[in-house]
Amino acid sequence: MKPLSRYLALSGLCALALTAHAQQWEPLPEHPPIPADNPQSQAKIDLGKTLFFDPRLSEHGTLSCNSCHNVMAGGDDNRPNSIGMHDARGGRSAPTVWNAAYQSVQFWDGRAGTLEEQAKGPITNPIEMGMSDAAVAVGRLNQIPAYLPLFKAAFPAASKPITMDNVAKAIAAYERTLVTPDSPYDRYVKGDKTALTAQQARGMKTFGDLGCTACHAGANFSGPPMPMAQGFFMKFPTFAGSAFDKQYDLLSDTGRHASTGKDSDKHMWRVPTLRNIALTAPYMHNGKVPTLEEAVRVMAKTQLNRDIDATQLADVVAFLTSLSGKFPEQTMPRLPLTSGNSIVPPIDPHLKTAKATD
């Protein structure tokens, strides 16, 4: 980047930091945005939850949405890379599904504009759930008679309720219930000044003073409010050239550019939420940073060009732990059953399988 261009870019970053710092401390809204074409209903939410947990939406009947986005925990799988069909590994870490409904775009690179669009992706991705196409997935559901009344209840106006669009709408409706309000931070900014410890309160101030809110602004700590399908993206690393680039392989994945092909999108990423961040290790898009403390060091150096001291580090980490909210209770759904037949085809005996080690 030419010196003048770099100066203007950094000036803009500083201006954004000042703006974000002035309006950063917002509690999580009680409800996320709900699209007009997919209103919530209890029948739809219940169907979406059932589909979210049903492994029969995967090629071999072994993986569900919950396999990589475990809502019984932090909404991810605490692995660097998730394990997909045929023991495949993706190149990016599974982001948490908790509070994803507050984000205006989905996936690390923002290639899905809505939760509905995102929900379709993994089902037919060959290295995730592995169904060959949407028609095969819908055909699988049509072979389970008990699903039809659930779809009819969720989509009463549909003449053919079991469609891929309705699968995605139902899963998205369930995901919009996966919110974690009432964290210590939320209570603090609502007026309860005892909700944070002294160290967490110091860390909150340090977080703002360092400029972390240039990216992690807003109630969800994922950027300022944006219209749905319009993402808030930032370059990562902004300050390339540190030892962290090689140590954690920060540059080999070009981010949004890999989806759009635009040079201007190289190393641009959707800003992830920091809510429940203490519960979702490992960190970064590739899951290569093992601890929250190290993640803060990496971000300070690569995004702010700062080497933070031990006190700042401890205080910021303490503040980040205050962003863990209350998880609504989740119970496993009873899945619709088949009677006397299997709908999952036998696994190809020629596939390579790993030997058991236990």
Annotation: binding site for heme c: 65, 68-69, 212, 215-216, 299
Question: Residue 32: is the preceding peptide bond cis (ω within 30°)?
Answer: no
Q: Are 336 and 144 in contact (CB under 8 A)?
A: yes
Cβ-based neighbours of 300, under 8 Å, separated by 6 or more: 210, 306, 307, 308
Separation CA 142–CA 219 (nearest Å):
41
Cα–Cα nearest to 170, from 55, 279, 44, 275: 44
Q: What letter represents residue 357's amino acid?
A: T
- At 321, which amino acid appears? T
Report how far Cα 57 is from the mean position of its chain's Cα atoms.
20
For 6, other C-beta atoms within 10 Å of its C-beta total 10
CA 259/CA 105 separation, integer angstroms: 14
Catalytic choice (116, 128, 175, 294): 128
Question: Catalytic residue at 128?
Answer: yes
DSSP 95: P
Distance, in Å, from the CA atom of 55 to the CA atom of 339, rounded to the nearest integer, reads: 17
Rounded (10°) CA dihedral 344, 348, 349, 351: -120
Which residues are marked as active site? 128
